[in-house]
Chain A
Amino acid sequence: MSQQPDAKPVDAWLAESLRVTVFPSPGASFADQRWWEQLVGQPPETQTSQPRKGGRKDEGPYQDRKLVLDCETTRIDWHVLPAGPPEESDHGFPTIGGYSEYLDMFSDLMRAWLDLEDFPAINRLAVAPILLQPVGSLPDGYQRLSEYLPSVQIDPHGSSDLVYQINRPRESRSRISGLRINRLSKWSVATIRLFTLTGAGPSSRPEAQHRACRLQLDVNTAAEFDGELPADGLIPLLQELMDLAGEIASHGDIP
């Protein structure tokens, strides 16, 4: 019988990116939305019309990070991404900073969005952060992963190419009857290599290489849910999804 892993601080994780996605109900209209301006307080830096997809992408800086609003007829995504290249990061990875720190910021922004008057009716909601924990080597990474994956026996020194992905669905604790929540997580150790060509002459300095445990999360309301999610229940539901993501980041893969 596998042991339940001890809770570890969520602060151990850096965030590579954060995403919140909603799936509008069929017939929901939001073509004229001005959510970016309403939430950020100024127009986006760039706005790209995507007529074939029936959508629009707004992008710009927000609190020293890159914020993207990607609107299509069938889905709406908000992303928080690193503003600069990995080499400008303290960790050598493309991160937006500490997970818990930016989760609070993003959570506030998303709550304000869900609360807007013209927020459309939706039938699905998702929270999908990608998290990183820098490690010194592949065995170190596997050792670290094993602390989060009690049901997986990892041989840190005699294995490679490990990807562990699982869905641990749960019933929602919200008052929305019959709502199931998918708790998808994907665990691996990733390597990033940077190659920099400089203007100092025909030479290269491609020495930078970093490794990290990588946790991709996709915590979402199940597609099988029939009907629209109640508007007055969206903010608590968002919080529930974020709590569940935090639980996986802290406790690892648990039922």
Chain B
Amino acid sequence: MTAQPHGVETDSLTSGMVPPPDVTLRPGRSAARKIVEALPADSAKRSRVGWRVTCTFSSTTQWVETEHVIQADNATGLERPKTDDDTPYRSVQAAFGSAKDEFLEDGTESQFAREIKVLIAKHRRSALEAISHLILFTKTGHHVANEALSTLGTVSEPTTYEYRRWLLEQSLGAPSAVVRDGAVIGLAWLDDPHAVPYVQRAVQGEQVAPLRRSMERLLEQLGKESRWHWSLE
């Protein structure tokens, strides 16, 4: 895998994905399929061309990000009120949008990280689905994704634990080294041996030497016999 230079945005993960926790997939059926969209609703992104891949990981959850409308005073699509059921996605999207302008500093909890925690506490799985979508399927800035993933490891909300772990494990295969670094930090905080095979696979393909060393250190941390035995006692 070739590392992406900092600042270059890539579209998505392209390999190694597994379904999120508690999603049962039927062979031959598409689990991630709902595709909508034109342009993001927030004004800062209106110049971006393209369709957003909107992903449905279960039969009950879907995101509808924006209406198919022309944004203009004389258009007839503007009057439609926003529905309530997309609030988690919009809230998470807004937090990600604001984070682009925030100086994200190592060792200091950012406003963005605090917002992520609040949103997960409030919306739980819906917030995680939105975060997953933004990181895996959209052109989220690498440093914002890094901060989000790092934060996921420190969240204490228990019902989203497996989903957070899943997202961190999947993000080890991100095209961007910055995003992969965020996944390593998040998994280090999580300290769950479940991630070992994912980290092992990531180490084998990692081309960025400092990041590979971080992954090896993470493997050491997760594989420590003593830690495992202590937890049993």
**Which residues of A pack against B, CB within 8 Å?**
16-17, 19, 21, 23, 53, 72, 74-75, 77, 85-87, 94, 124, 126, 128, 130, 160-163, 165, 167, 169, 182, 184, 186, 188-200, 202-204, 206, 214, 216, 218, 220, 222-223
Contact = CB atoms under 8 A, between A and B. Distances in A.
Interface string B77-91: 101110000000000
A202 B20 CA distance: 10
B74 A223 contact: yes
B30 A190 contact: no
A199 B77 CA distance: 39
B30 A197 contact: yes
Contact of A206 (B17, B34, B72): B17
Contacts of B60: none
A141 to B, nearest CB: 10
A228 B226 CA distance: 80
Contact of B49 (A21, A184, A189, A220): A189
A161 B49 contact: yes
Contacts of B137: 193, 195
B27 A165 contact: no
A136 B34 CA distance: 23
Interface stretch (B50-58, B149-157, B175-183, B209-217): B50-58
A232 B144 CA distance: 57
B229 interface: no
A21 to B, nearest CB: 5
B97 interface: no
B26 interface: yes
Interface string B1-13: 0000000000111
Contacts of A199: 25-29, 31
Contacts of A194: 33, 35, 53
A197 B31 contact: yes
B79 A74 contact: yes
Contacts of B40: none
B18 A202 contact: yes
Given A184-B72, A202-B17, 9 more contacts: A75-B79, A169-B74, A184-B70, A186-B70, A190-B51, A198-B30, A199-B25, A199-B28, A218-B74
B68 interface: yes
B29 to A, nearest CB: 7
Contacts of A190: 38, 49-51
A75 B68 contact: no
